[in-house]
Chains A and B, each alone.
Chain A
Amino acid sequence: MRGPAGPPLLEIQGLSKNFGGVPALAGVSFPVHGGTVTALIGPNGAGKTTLINCLTGVVRPDGGRILFQGRELAGLAPHEIAALGVARTFQNLRLFPRLTVLDNVLLGLTPQAGVSLAEALLRTPRLRHRERRLKLAALEALDAFGLGGKADWPAGILPYGDKKRLEMARVFVSQPALALLDEPVAGLNSQETAEVAGLIRQLRRQGRTLLLVEHDMDLVMGVSDVVVVLDGGRRIALGTPEEVQRDPRVLEAYLGRMSVTA
Protein backbone atom coordinates (compact mmCIF):
# COMPACT_ATOMS: atom_id res chain seq x y z
CA MET A 1 0.00 0.00 0.00
CA ARG A 2 1.16 3.50 -0.74
CA GLY A 3 1.96 5.50 2.37
CA PRO A 4 -0.91 7.95 2.73
CA ALA A 5 -0.03 11.50 3.73
CA GLY A 6 -2.59 13.05 6.05
CA PRO A 7 -6.17 11.91 6.64
CA PRO A 8 -7.94 10.01 3.88
CA LEU A 9 -10.19 11.87 1.42
CA LEU A 10 -13.03 9.49 2.19
CA GLU A 11 -13.45 7.47 5.37
CA ILE A 12 -16.22 4.89 5.53
CA GLN A 13 -16.89 3.70 9.08
CA GLY A 14 -19.19 0.85 10.02
CA LEU A 15 -21.60 1.45 7.16
CA SER A 16 -24.75 -0.69 7.27
CA LYS A 17 -27.87 -0.96 5.17
CA ASN A 18 -30.73 -3.44 5.36
CA PHE A 19 -33.30 -4.08 2.70
CA GLY A 20 -36.41 -5.56 4.30
CA GLY A 21 -34.38 -7.13 7.09
CA VAL A 22 -31.73 -8.55 4.74
CA PRO A 23 -28.36 -6.90 5.37
CA ALA A 24 -26.81 -5.55 2.17
CA LEU A 25 -24.02 -3.86 4.11
CA ALA A 26 -23.06 -4.98 7.63
CA GLY A 27 -20.56 -2.58 9.17
CA VAL A 28 -18.19 -1.92 6.29
CA SER A 29 -15.18 0.31 6.94
CA PHE A 30 -12.33 1.43 4.68
CA PRO A 31 -10.51 4.61 3.68
CA VAL A 32 -9.97 6.08 0.22
CA HIS A 33 -6.85 8.20 -0.05
CA GLY A 34 -6.61 11.20 -2.34
CA GLY A 35 -4.89 10.57 -5.69
CA THR A 36 -5.35 6.79 -5.61
CA VAL A 37 -7.48 4.29 -7.47
CA THR A 38 -9.38 2.07 -5.04
CA ALA A 39 -11.27 -0.91 -6.40
CA LEU A 40 -14.27 -2.45 -4.73
CA ILE A 41 -14.75 -6.10 -5.68
CA GLY A 42 -16.80 -9.02 -4.51
CA PRO A 43 -19.28 -11.60 -5.77
CA ASN A 44 -22.75 -10.57 -6.91
CA GLY A 45 -24.85 -9.38 -3.99
CA ALA A 46 -21.77 -8.44 -1.95
CA GLY A 47 -23.11 -4.90 -1.46
CA LYS A 48 -20.87 -2.98 -3.85
CA THR A 49 -23.58 -1.01 -5.64
CA THR A 50 -25.46 -0.43 -2.37
CA LEU A 51 -22.27 1.14 -1.01
CA ILE A 52 -21.98 3.46 -4.03
CA ASN A 53 -25.68 4.33 -3.66
CA CYS A 54 -25.10 5.22 0.01
CA LEU A 55 -22.11 7.38 -0.91
CA THR A 56 -24.17 9.37 -3.43
CA GLY A 57 -27.30 9.73 -1.29
CA VAL A 58 -29.45 7.58 -3.60
CA VAL A 59 -29.91 5.18 -0.67
CA ARG A 60 -29.92 6.32 2.96
CA PRO A 61 -27.68 4.13 5.14
CA ASP A 62 -29.12 2.66 8.36
CA GLY A 63 -25.93 3.12 10.35
CA GLY A 64 -22.29 4.15 10.19
CA ARG A 65 -20.53 7.22 8.95
CA ILE A 66 -19.31 8.48 5.59
CA LEU A 67 -16.72 11.20 6.13
CA PHE A 68 -15.72 13.03 2.98
CA GLN A 69 -13.10 15.73 3.48
CA GLY A 70 -14.16 15.66 7.13
CA ARG A 71 -17.86 16.15 6.32
CA GLU A 72 -20.61 13.65 7.06
CA LEU A 73 -22.31 12.55 3.82
CA ALA A 74 -24.83 10.13 5.35
CA GLY A 75 -28.23 11.83 5.37
CA LEU A 76 -27.41 14.39 2.68
CA ALA A 77 -29.51 14.51 -0.49
CA PRO A 78 -27.93 13.43 -3.80
CA HIS A 79 -27.74 16.99 -5.15
CA GLU A 80 -25.97 18.17 -1.99
CA ILE A 81 -23.38 15.41 -2.29
CA ALA A 82 -22.87 16.24 -5.98
CA ALA A 83 -22.23 19.86 -5.04
CA LEU A 84 -19.41 18.70 -2.73
CA GLY A 85 -17.58 17.19 -5.69
CA VAL A 86 -18.61 13.53 -5.69
CA ALA A 87 -19.60 12.27 -9.15
CA ARG A 88 -20.59 8.80 -10.31
CA THR A 89 -21.48 6.55 -13.21
CA PHE A 90 -24.18 3.91 -13.07
CA GLN A 91 -23.98 0.17 -13.48
CA ASN A 92 -26.64 0.31 -16.18
CA LEU A 93 -25.99 3.51 -18.09
CA ARG A 94 -28.12 6.42 -17.03
CA LEU A 95 -27.69 8.95 -19.79
CA PHE A 96 -30.44 11.28 -20.97
CA PRO A 97 -31.13 9.68 -24.37
CA ARG A 98 -33.19 12.52 -25.80
CA LEU A 99 -30.70 15.23 -24.89
CA THR A 100 -27.65 15.90 -27.02
CA VAL A 101 -24.26 14.49 -26.15
CA LEU A 102 -23.13 18.02 -25.29
CA ASP A 103 -26.09 18.64 -22.94
CA ASN A 104 -25.41 15.33 -21.22
CA VAL A 105 -21.87 16.44 -20.46
CA LEU A 106 -23.00 19.95 -19.50
CA LEU A 107 -25.27 18.33 -16.90
CA GLY A 108 -22.11 17.08 -15.25
CA LEU A 109 -21.43 20.76 -14.53
CA THR A 110 -24.82 21.40 -12.88
CA PRO A 111 -23.34 22.65 -9.56
CA GLN A 112 -21.26 25.18 -11.52
CA ALA A 113 -24.12 26.33 -13.76
CA GLY A 114 -26.03 28.47 -11.23
CA VAL A 115 -29.55 28.03 -9.89
CA SER A 116 -31.14 31.48 -10.24
CA LEU A 117 -34.39 31.25 -12.18
CA ALA A 118 -34.50 35.00 -12.85
CA GLU A 119 -31.00 34.92 -14.28
CA ALA A 120 -31.98 31.99 -16.52
CA LEU A 121 -35.20 33.63 -17.79
CA LEU A 122 -33.43 36.91 -18.56
CA ARG A 123 -30.24 35.28 -19.87
CA THR A 124 -28.07 37.90 -18.22
CA PRO A 125 -24.58 38.65 -19.58
CA ARG A 126 -23.12 36.93 -16.52
CA LEU A 127 -25.00 33.73 -17.34
CA ARG A 128 -24.09 33.97 -21.02
CA HIS A 129 -20.42 34.30 -20.12
CA ARG A 130 -20.59 31.36 -17.75
CA GLU A 131 -22.46 29.18 -20.25
CA ARG A 132 -19.73 29.82 -22.83
CA ARG A 133 -17.07 28.78 -20.32
CA LEU A 134 -18.97 25.61 -19.38
CA LYS A 135 -19.54 24.73 -23.03
CA LEU A 136 -15.81 24.97 -23.72
CA ALA A 137 -15.06 22.71 -20.75
CA ALA A 138 -17.68 20.24 -21.97
CA LEU A 139 -16.30 20.19 -25.51
CA GLU A 140 -12.79 19.60 -24.11
CA ALA A 141 -14.09 16.68 -22.06
CA LEU A 142 -15.77 15.23 -25.16
CA ASP A 143 -12.47 15.44 -27.03
CA ALA A 144 -10.59 13.85 -24.13
CA PHE A 145 -12.99 10.90 -24.12
CA GLY A 146 -12.98 10.47 -27.87
CA LEU A 147 -16.43 11.89 -28.52
CA GLY A 148 -15.44 15.08 -30.32
CA GLY A 149 -17.59 15.64 -33.41
CA LYS A 150 -20.63 13.94 -31.87
CA ALA A 151 -21.56 16.86 -29.60
CA ASP A 152 -24.92 17.53 -31.25
CA TRP A 153 -26.04 13.90 -31.52
CA PRO A 154 -28.92 12.73 -29.36
CA ALA A 155 -27.17 10.57 -26.75
CA GLY A 156 -29.66 7.75 -27.31
CA ILE A 157 -28.32 6.84 -30.75
CA LEU A 158 -24.65 6.46 -29.73
CA PRO A 159 -23.14 2.99 -29.89
CA TYR A 160 -22.74 1.27 -26.52
CA GLY A 161 -19.01 1.93 -26.13
CA ASP A 162 -19.52 5.64 -26.82
CA LYS A 163 -22.29 5.75 -24.25
CA LYS A 164 -19.97 4.30 -21.62
CA ARG A 165 -17.36 6.92 -22.41
CA LEU A 166 -19.98 9.68 -22.45
CA GLU A 167 -20.97 8.76 -18.92
CA MET A 168 -17.31 8.99 -17.89
CA ALA A 169 -16.94 12.33 -19.66
CA ARG A 170 -19.98 13.57 -17.73
CA VAL A 171 -18.26 12.55 -14.48
CA PHE A 172 -14.83 14.00 -15.16
CA VAL A 173 -15.86 17.26 -16.85
CA SER A 174 -16.37 18.76 -13.38
CA GLN A 175 -12.95 17.53 -12.16
CA PRO A 176 -14.64 15.89 -9.16
CA ALA A 177 -12.74 15.42 -5.89
CA LEU A 178 -13.99 11.83 -5.91
CA ALA A 179 -15.25 9.82 -8.89
CA LEU A 180 -17.25 6.64 -8.39
CA LEU A 181 -17.30 4.33 -11.39
CA ASP A 182 -19.83 1.49 -11.20
CA GLU A 183 -18.62 -1.22 -13.61
CA PRO A 184 -17.01 1.04 -16.22
CA VAL A 185 -16.14 -1.80 -18.60
CA ALA A 186 -19.19 -4.04 -18.24
CA GLY A 187 -20.29 -5.07 -21.70
CA LEU A 188 -17.21 -3.72 -23.48
CA ASN A 189 -14.95 -5.84 -25.68
CA SER A 190 -11.29 -6.37 -24.81
CA GLN A 191 -10.04 -3.52 -26.99
CA GLU A 192 -12.54 -1.05 -25.49
CA THR A 193 -11.69 -2.33 -22.01
CA ALA A 194 -8.01 -1.62 -22.66
CA GLU A 195 -8.95 1.90 -23.73
CA VAL A 196 -10.89 2.48 -20.51
CA ALA A 197 -7.95 1.08 -18.50
CA GLY A 198 -5.72 3.62 -20.26
CA LEU A 199 -8.15 6.42 -19.40
CA ILE A 200 -8.24 5.38 -15.74
CA ARG A 201 -4.42 5.34 -15.51
CA GLN A 202 -4.29 8.72 -17.20
CA LEU A 203 -6.84 10.18 -14.75
CA ARG A 204 -4.83 8.81 -11.84
CA ARG A 205 -1.68 10.45 -13.20
CA GLN A 206 -3.63 13.72 -13.27
CA GLY A 207 -4.17 13.28 -9.53
CA ARG A 208 -7.83 12.25 -9.60
CA THR A 209 -9.25 9.98 -6.92
CA LEU A 210 -11.30 7.05 -8.16
CA LEU A 211 -13.39 4.43 -6.44
CA LEU A 212 -14.11 1.65 -8.86
CA VAL A 213 -16.64 -1.19 -8.71
CA GLU A 214 -15.68 -3.81 -11.25
CA HIS A 215 -15.94 -7.49 -12.05
CA ASP A 216 -13.16 -7.50 -14.64
CA MET A 217 -10.19 -8.78 -12.60
CA ASP A 218 -7.59 -7.92 -15.24
CA LEU A 219 -8.72 -4.31 -15.09
CA VAL A 220 -8.93 -4.21 -11.28
CA MET A 221 -5.48 -5.73 -10.76
CA GLY A 222 -3.99 -3.60 -13.51
CA VAL A 223 -5.11 -0.13 -12.44
CA SER A 224 -5.77 -0.21 -8.67
CA ASP A 225 -3.59 0.98 -5.81
CA VAL A 226 -5.86 -0.58 -3.21
CA VAL A 227 -8.43 -3.35 -3.51
CA VAL A 228 -11.29 -3.72 -1.05
CA VAL A 229 -13.11 -7.06 -1.10
CA LEU A 230 -16.71 -7.32 0.06
CA ASP A 231 -18.64 -10.53 0.61
CA GLY A 232 -22.15 -10.76 2.00
CA GLY A 233 -22.10 -7.12 3.05
CA ARG A 234 -18.81 -7.41 5.00
CA ARG A 235 -15.30 -6.33 4.17
CA ILE A 236 -13.20 -9.47 4.05
CA ALA A 237 -9.94 -8.00 2.75
CA LEU A 238 -8.12 -4.77 2.01
CA GLY A 239 -4.69 -4.37 0.47
CA THR A 240 -2.66 -4.02 -2.68
CA PRO A 241 -3.76 -6.14 -5.63
CA GLU A 242 -0.89 -8.57 -4.88
CA GLU A 243 -1.84 -8.89 -1.20
CA VAL A 244 -5.50 -9.39 -1.95
CA GLN A 245 -4.79 -12.06 -4.55
CA ARG A 246 -2.81 -14.06 -2.01
CA ASP A 247 -5.38 -13.64 0.77
CA PRO A 248 -6.85 -17.10 1.45
CA ARG A 249 -10.21 -15.70 2.54
CA VAL A 250 -10.51 -13.85 -0.74
CA LEU A 251 -9.50 -16.92 -2.70
CA GLU A 252 -12.08 -18.92 -0.86
CA ALA A 253 -14.89 -16.41 -1.12
CA TYR A 254 -14.34 -15.07 -4.53
CA LEU A 255 -11.18 -15.37 -6.54
CA GLY A 256 -11.02 -19.10 -6.08
CA ARG A 257 -13.98 -19.41 -8.35
CA MET A 258 -12.34 -17.44 -11.14
CA SER A 259 -9.20 -17.87 -13.18
CA VAL A 260 -6.78 -15.13 -12.13
CA THR A 261 -4.40 -14.17 -14.84
CA ALA A 262 -3.19 -10.77 -13.69
Chain B
Amino acid sequence: MRPDPATRLRWFILRHRTGLTVWLVAVLLALVPLAVRNPYQLGLLNLIGIYAVAVLGLNLFIGYAGQISLGHAGFFGLGAYGSALLTVHGWLTPWPALLLTAALVAVLALFLGLPTLRLHGHYLAMATLGFNYIVHLVLVQWDAVTGGPSGISGIPPLGVAGFTFDTELRFFYLVWGGVLLGVTACLNLMRSGVGRGLAALAQDEVAAATLGVHVRREKVRVFVLSAVFAAVAGSLYAHYYHYVNPDGFSIFKSLDLVIMVVVGGLGSVWGTLLGVMVVTLLPYYLEFLEAYFDLIHGLVLVLILMFLPQGLVTGLWDHLRLTWARRRVAGRGEAS
Protein backbone atom coordinates (compact mmCIF):
# COMPACT_ATOMS: atom_id res chain seq x y z
CA MET B 1 0.00 0.00 0.00
CA ARG B 2 1.43 3.38 -0.99
CA PRO B 3 1.21 6.10 1.60
CA ASP B 4 -0.99 9.05 0.65
CA PRO B 5 0.60 12.11 -1.01
CA ALA B 6 0.46 14.23 2.16
CA THR B 7 2.44 11.63 4.11
CA ARG B 8 4.95 11.28 1.33
CA LEU B 9 5.38 15.06 1.21
CA ARG B 10 6.00 15.07 4.95
CA TRP B 11 8.63 12.35 4.56
CA PHE B 12 10.25 14.27 1.70
CA ILE B 13 10.46 17.45 3.77
CA LEU B 14 11.75 15.59 6.81
CA ARG B 15 14.38 13.74 4.80
CA HIS B 16 15.62 16.80 2.90
CA ARG B 17 15.05 19.39 5.63
CA THR B 18 18.67 20.58 5.66
CA GLY B 19 18.90 21.07 1.89
CA LEU B 20 15.45 22.64 1.71
CA THR B 21 16.40 25.15 4.42
CA VAL B 22 19.47 26.19 2.43
CA TRP B 23 17.35 26.67 -0.72
CA LEU B 24 14.75 28.65 1.20
CA VAL B 25 17.40 30.96 2.65
CA ALA B 26 18.94 31.31 -0.83
CA VAL B 27 15.63 32.49 -2.25
CA LEU B 28 15.10 34.93 0.62
CA LEU B 29 18.63 36.31 0.21
CA ALA B 30 18.11 36.73 -3.53
CA LEU B 31 15.08 38.88 -2.74
CA VAL B 32 16.83 41.06 -0.15
CA PRO B 33 18.02 43.69 -2.69
CA LEU B 34 14.36 44.32 -3.59
CA ALA B 35 13.81 45.59 -0.06
CA VAL B 36 17.27 47.05 0.60
CA ARG B 37 18.13 49.47 -2.18
CA ASN B 38 20.29 51.87 -0.20
CA PRO B 39 23.96 51.21 -1.24
CA TYR B 40 25.16 52.01 2.27
CA GLN B 41 22.97 49.31 3.78
CA LEU B 42 23.88 46.86 1.03
CA GLY B 43 27.50 47.64 1.84
CA LEU B 44 26.89 46.66 5.47
CA LEU B 45 25.30 43.39 4.35
CA ASN B 46 28.34 42.74 2.16
CA LEU B 47 30.66 43.29 5.10
CA ILE B 48 28.54 40.88 7.15
CA GLY B 49 28.81 38.35 4.32
CA ILE B 50 32.61 38.63 4.23
CA TYR B 51 32.91 38.12 7.99
CA ALA B 52 30.36 35.30 7.85
CA VAL B 53 32.65 33.29 5.56
CA ALA B 54 35.50 33.63 8.07
CA VAL B 55 33.35 32.97 11.13
CA LEU B 56 31.74 29.86 9.60
CA GLY B 57 35.21 28.32 9.45
CA LEU B 58 36.16 29.58 12.90
CA ASN B 59 32.97 28.13 14.36
CA LEU B 60 33.93 24.69 13.01
CA PHE B 61 37.20 24.97 14.89
CA ILE B 62 35.94 26.59 18.10
CA GLY B 63 32.29 25.63 18.32
CA TYR B 64 32.27 22.22 16.75
CA ALA B 65 35.73 20.80 17.46
CA GLY B 66 35.97 22.56 20.84
CA GLN B 67 39.34 24.22 20.28
CA ILE B 68 40.25 27.91 20.65
CA SER B 69 41.94 30.35 18.28
CA LEU B 70 42.66 34.00 18.96
CA GLY B 71 44.56 34.28 15.69
CA HIS B 72 42.10 33.95 12.84
CA ALA B 73 42.28 37.63 11.94
CA GLY B 74 45.87 36.73 11.03
CA PHE B 75 44.68 34.25 8.39
CA PHE B 76 42.04 36.78 7.32
CA GLY B 77 44.77 39.40 6.88
CA LEU B 78 47.10 37.04 5.04
CA GLY B 79 44.24 36.23 2.66
CA ALA B 80 43.59 39.93 2.05
CA TYR B 81 47.26 40.84 1.59
CA GLY B 82 47.97 37.74 -0.50
CA SER B 83 45.24 38.60 -2.97
CA ALA B 84 46.25 42.29 -2.90
CA LEU B 85 49.93 41.66 -3.63
CA LEU B 86 49.34 39.04 -6.30
CA THR B 87 46.89 41.20 -8.26
CA VAL B 88 48.19 44.75 -7.71
CA HIS B 89 51.48 43.95 -9.41
CA GLY B 90 49.64 42.24 -12.24
CA TRP B 91 51.13 38.82 -11.44
CA LEU B 92 47.77 37.09 -11.37
CA THR B 93 44.12 37.81 -12.05
CA PRO B 94 41.85 37.90 -8.96
CA TRP B 95 40.43 34.34 -9.02
CA PRO B 96 43.76 32.52 -9.41
CA ALA B 97 45.16 34.91 -6.78
CA LEU B 98 42.37 33.91 -4.37
CA LEU B 99 43.02 30.20 -4.93
CA LEU B 100 46.80 30.49 -4.64
CA THR B 101 46.48 32.62 -1.48
CA ALA B 102 44.11 30.09 0.08
CA ALA B 103 46.53 27.28 -0.77
CA LEU B 104 49.50 29.15 0.73
CA VAL B 105 47.54 29.96 3.90
CA ALA B 106 46.54 26.28 4.13
CA VAL B 107 50.19 25.24 4.05
CA LEU B 108 51.08 27.86 6.67
CA ALA B 109 48.18 26.75 8.88
CA LEU B 110 49.36 23.16 8.56
CA PHE B 111 52.86 24.03 9.79
CA LEU B 112 51.45 26.25 12.52
CA GLY B 113 48.86 23.67 13.56
CA LEU B 114 51.14 20.63 13.78
CA PRO B 115 53.03 21.87 16.86
CA THR B 116 50.44 24.21 18.43
CA LEU B 117 47.49 21.80 18.34
CA ARG B 118 49.33 19.60 20.82
CA LEU B 119 48.42 22.41 23.24
CA HIS B 120 45.13 22.82 25.06
CA GLY B 121 43.06 25.69 26.42
CA HIS B 122 45.00 28.77 27.49
CA TYR B 123 48.20 27.57 25.81
CA LEU B 124 46.52 27.15 22.44
CA ALA B 125 44.90 30.57 22.87
CA MET B 126 48.30 32.15 23.58
CA ALA B 127 50.01 30.40 20.65
CA THR B 128 47.39 31.54 18.13
CA LEU B 129 47.37 35.02 19.65
CA GLY B 130 51.14 35.17 19.19
CA PHE B 131 50.79 34.12 15.56
CA ASN B 132 48.28 36.92 14.92
CA TYR B 133 50.52 39.43 16.68
CA ILE B 134 53.46 38.48 14.44
CA VAL B 135 51.36 38.72 11.26
CA HIS B 136 50.13 42.16 12.27
CA LEU B 137 53.65 43.30 13.12
CA VAL B 138 54.95 42.17 9.73
CA LEU B 139 52.09 43.90 7.92
CA VAL B 140 52.86 47.17 9.73
CA GLN B 141 56.66 47.02 9.61
CA TRP B 142 57.57 45.46 6.28
CA ASP B 143 57.04 48.71 4.41
CA ALA B 144 58.68 47.67 1.17
CA VAL B 145 56.22 44.85 0.54
CA THR B 146 53.09 45.59 2.55
CA GLY B 147 53.09 49.36 2.27
CA GLY B 148 53.33 49.62 6.06
CA PRO B 149 50.49 51.34 7.97
CA SER B 150 49.13 52.93 4.80
CA GLY B 151 48.57 49.55 3.17
CA ILE B 152 47.93 48.66 -0.46
CA SER B 153 45.42 50.32 -2.76
CA GLY B 154 44.23 49.82 -6.31
CA ILE B 155 43.26 46.15 -5.89
CA PRO B 156 41.10 45.04 -8.85
CA PRO B 157 37.59 43.61 -8.33
CA LEU B 158 36.64 40.00 -8.94
CA GLY B 159 34.93 39.22 -12.22
CA VAL B 160 33.65 36.42 -14.41
CA ALA B 161 34.04 36.56 -18.22
CA GLY B 162 33.97 40.33 -18.51
CA PHE B 163 31.34 40.80 -15.78
CA THR B 164 32.92 42.46 -12.74
CA PHE B 165 31.50 42.41 -9.22
CA ASP B 166 32.21 46.12 -8.79
CA THR B 167 28.93 47.48 -7.40
CA GLU B 168 27.36 46.92 -3.99
CA LEU B 169 24.53 44.95 -5.58
CA ARG B 170 26.75 42.72 -7.72
CA PHE B 171 29.09 41.99 -4.84
CA PHE B 172 26.09 41.22 -2.62
CA TYR B 173 25.20 38.24 -4.82
CA LEU B 174 28.82 37.10 -5.01
CA VAL B 175 29.56 37.20 -1.30
CA TRP B 176 26.24 35.74 -0.14
CA GLY B 177 26.57 33.02 -2.75
CA GLY B 178 29.90 32.29 -1.12
CA VAL B 179 28.30 32.31 2.33
CA LEU B 180 25.70 29.76 1.20
CA LEU B 181 28.44 27.52 -0.23
CA GLY B 182 30.23 27.78 3.11
CA VAL B 183 27.04 27.03 5.03
CA THR B 184 26.39 23.98 2.84
CA ALA B 185 29.95 22.71 3.30
CA CYS B 186 29.66 23.09 7.09
CA LEU B 187 26.27 21.38 7.26
CA ASN B 188 27.62 18.56 5.08
CA LEU B 189 30.66 18.12 7.28
CA MET B 190 28.53 17.90 10.41
CA ARG B 191 26.45 15.11 8.88
CA SER B 192 29.48 12.92 8.17
CA GLY B 193 31.71 10.60 10.13
CA VAL B 194 34.45 13.23 10.07
CA GLY B 195 32.09 15.78 11.63
CA ARG B 196 30.90 13.37 14.31
CA GLY B 197 34.54 12.68 15.14
CA LEU B 198 35.15 16.41 15.63
CA ALA B 199 32.10 16.79 17.87
CA ALA B 200 33.25 13.76 19.85
CA LEU B 201 36.84 14.89 20.38
CA ALA B 202 35.50 18.27 21.54
CA GLN B 203 33.84 16.50 24.46
CA ASP B 204 36.21 13.63 25.30
CA GLU B 205 39.44 13.04 23.41
CA VAL B 206 40.21 9.68 25.01
CA ALA B 207 36.78 8.23 24.29
CA ALA B 208 36.89 9.60 20.73
CA ALA B 209 40.30 8.02 20.14
CA THR B 210 39.24 4.59 21.36
CA LEU B 211 36.28 4.75 18.97
CA GLY B 212 38.68 5.26 16.06
CA VAL B 213 38.96 9.05 15.77
CA HIS B 214 42.50 10.11 14.84
CA VAL B 215 42.35 13.03 17.26
CA ARG B 216 45.54 14.86 16.26
CA ARG B 217 44.97 14.59 12.54
CA GLU B 218 41.35 15.73 12.82
CA LYS B 219 42.30 18.78 14.91
CA VAL B 220 44.94 19.83 12.37
CA ARG B 221 42.58 19.28 9.45
CA VAL B 222 39.78 21.39 10.92
CA PHE B 223 42.31 24.10 11.84
CA VAL B 224 43.58 24.22 8.25
CA LEU B 225 40.03 24.20 6.91
CA SER B 226 39.05 27.11 9.18
CA ALA B 227 42.18 29.03 8.11
CA VAL B 228 41.19 28.56 4.45
CA PHE B 229 37.70 29.94 5.17
CA ALA B 230 39.35 32.99 6.80
CA ALA B 231 41.80 33.43 3.90
CA VAL B 232 39.00 33.32 1.31
CA ALA B 233 37.08 35.89 3.36
CA GLY B 234 40.22 38.06 3.38
CA SER B 235 40.56 37.81 -0.41
CA LEU B 236 36.91 38.81 -0.82
CA TYR B 237 37.55 41.76 1.51
CA ALA B 238 40.53 42.96 -0.55
CA HIS B 239 38.72 42.71 -3.88
CA TYR B 240 35.60 44.39 -2.47
CA TYR B 241 37.24 47.43 -0.87
CA HIS B 242 40.13 47.59 -3.40
CA TYR B 243 42.25 48.61 -0.42
CA VAL B 244 43.83 46.90 2.59
CA ASN B 245 45.72 48.19 5.60
CA PRO B 246 46.84 46.39 8.78
CA ASP B 247 44.12 47.88 11.02
CA GLY B 248 41.49 45.24 10.30
CA PHE B 249 43.78 42.29 11.04
CA SER B 250 44.99 42.89 14.59
CA ILE B 251 44.44 40.62 17.57
CA PHE B 252 41.39 42.72 18.46
CA LYS B 253 39.74 41.64 15.22
CA SER B 254 40.47 38.03 16.19
CA LEU B 255 38.67 38.65 19.46
CA ASP B 256 35.71 40.12 17.53
CA LEU B 257 35.57 36.98 15.39
CA VAL B 258 35.47 34.83 18.53
CA ILE B 259 32.68 37.00 19.95
CA MET B 260 30.73 36.47 16.72
CA VAL B 261 31.12 32.70 17.17
CA VAL B 262 29.95 32.87 20.77
CA VAL B 263 26.97 35.14 20.08
CA GLY B 264 25.98 32.90 17.17
CA GLY B 265 26.34 29.79 19.29
CA LEU B 266 29.09 27.20 19.44
CA GLY B 267 28.70 24.76 16.58
CA SER B 268 25.59 26.44 15.17
CA VAL B 269 25.91 27.09 11.43
CA TRP B 270 22.81 29.26 11.06
CA GLY B 271 23.53 30.94 14.37
CA THR B 272 26.87 32.07 12.92
CA LEU B 273 25.07 34.34 10.46
CA LEU B 274 23.12 35.90 13.31
CA GLY B 275 26.23 36.30 15.46
CA VAL B 276 28.14 38.08 12.69
CA MET B 277 25.15 40.33 12.00
CA VAL B 278 24.68 41.35 15.63
CA VAL B 279 28.35 42.05 16.34
CA THR B 280 28.87 43.89 13.03
CA LEU B 281 25.77 46.05 13.29
CA LEU B 282 25.97 46.80 17.01
CA PRO B 283 28.46 49.67 16.56
CA TYR B 284 26.20 51.31 13.95
CA TYR B 285 23.18 51.27 16.21
CA LEU B 286 25.03 52.28 19.35
CA GLU B 287 27.13 55.05 17.84
CA PHE B 288 26.74 57.24 20.93
CA LEU B 289 28.61 54.56 22.93
CA GLU B 290 31.55 54.48 20.56
CA ALA B 291 34.16 55.09 23.22
CA TYR B 292 33.04 52.02 25.15
CA PHE B 293 32.90 49.39 22.41
CA ASP B 294 35.73 47.24 23.71
CA LEU B 295 34.05 47.32 27.08
CA ILE B 296 30.67 46.35 25.62
CA HIS B 297 32.15 43.54 23.54
CA GLY B 298 33.93 42.21 26.59
CA LEU B 299 30.76 42.44 28.67
CA VAL B 300 28.69 40.61 26.03
CA LEU B 301 31.30 37.84 25.88
CA VAL B 302 31.51 37.44 29.65
CA LEU B 303 27.74 37.45 30.16
CA ILE B 304 27.11 34.85 27.47
CA LEU B 305 29.90 32.57 28.64
CA MET B 306 28.67 32.87 32.23
CA PHE B 307 25.04 32.10 31.59
CA LEU B 308 25.04 30.20 28.27
CA PRO B 309 28.45 28.58 27.91
CA GLN B 310 27.41 27.01 24.62
CA GLY B 311 26.83 30.45 23.12
CA LEU B 312 23.64 32.41 22.66
CA VAL B 313 21.82 30.48 19.92
CA THR B 314 23.11 27.00 20.75
CA GLY B 315 22.60 27.58 24.45
CA LEU B 316 18.96 28.61 24.02
CA TRP B 317 18.36 25.77 21.53
CA ASP B 318 19.82 23.19 23.93
CA HIS B 319 17.64 24.56 26.68
CA LEU B 320 14.54 24.16 24.49
CA ARG B 321 15.52 20.65 23.38
CA LEU B 322 15.96 19.61 27.00
CA THR B 323 12.62 21.10 28.01
CA TRP B 324 10.84 19.28 25.18
CA ALA B 325 12.51 15.98 25.98
CA ARG B 326 11.58 16.31 29.68
CA ARG B 327 8.00 17.18 28.76
CA ARG B 328 7.79 14.12 26.50
CA VAL B 329 9.06 11.88 29.27
CA ALA B 330 6.60 13.42 31.73
CA GLY B 331 3.78 12.96 29.20
CA ARG B 332 4.68 9.32 28.72
CA GLY B 333 4.71 8.84 32.49
CA GLU B 334 1.15 10.17 32.85
CA ALA B 335 -0.11 8.07 29.95
CA SER B 336 1.06 4.78 31.45
Contacts and interface: CB of A to CB of B under 8 A. Distances in A.
A120 B203 contact: no
B113 to A, nearest CB: 14
A120 B194 contact: yes
A131 interface: yes
Interface residues of A, number: 43
B211 A113 contact: no
Interface stretch (B45-53, B145-153, B184-192): B184-192
Nearest to A78: B209
Contacts of B207: 90, 94-96
Nearest to A180: B210
Contacts of A109: 193
B155 interface: no
A78 B197 contact: no
Nearest to A115: B194
Interface of B is mostly: helix
Given A110-B193, A154-B321, A94 B204 contact: yes
Contact of A170 (B197, B211, B213): B211
Contact of A123 (B191, B206, B208, B209): B191
Given A111-B212, A117-B221, A121-B189, A157 B326 contact: yes
Contact of B193 (A58, A88, A115, A154): A115
Contact of B192 (A56, A108, A127): A127
A114 B192 CA distance: 9
A114 B214 CA distance: 12
A132 B212 CA distance: 20
B189 A120 contact: yes
Nearest to B181: A121
A110 B196 contact: yes
A37 B312 CA distance: 48
Interface string A165-179: 000001000000000
Contact of B204 (A96, A111, A127): A96
A77 interface: yes
Contacts of B189: 117, 120-121
Interface centre among B185, B208, B221 (most CB of A within 10 A): B208
A168 to B, nearest CB: 14
B126 to A, nearest CB: 27
Contacts of B200: 96, 99, 107
Given A88-B210, A106-B196, A115-B193, A96 B203 contact: yes
12 contacts: A57-B209, A57-B210, A79-B209, A79-B210, A87-B210, A107-B200, A107-B213, A113-B194, A117-B225, A122-B185, A157-B322, A170-B211
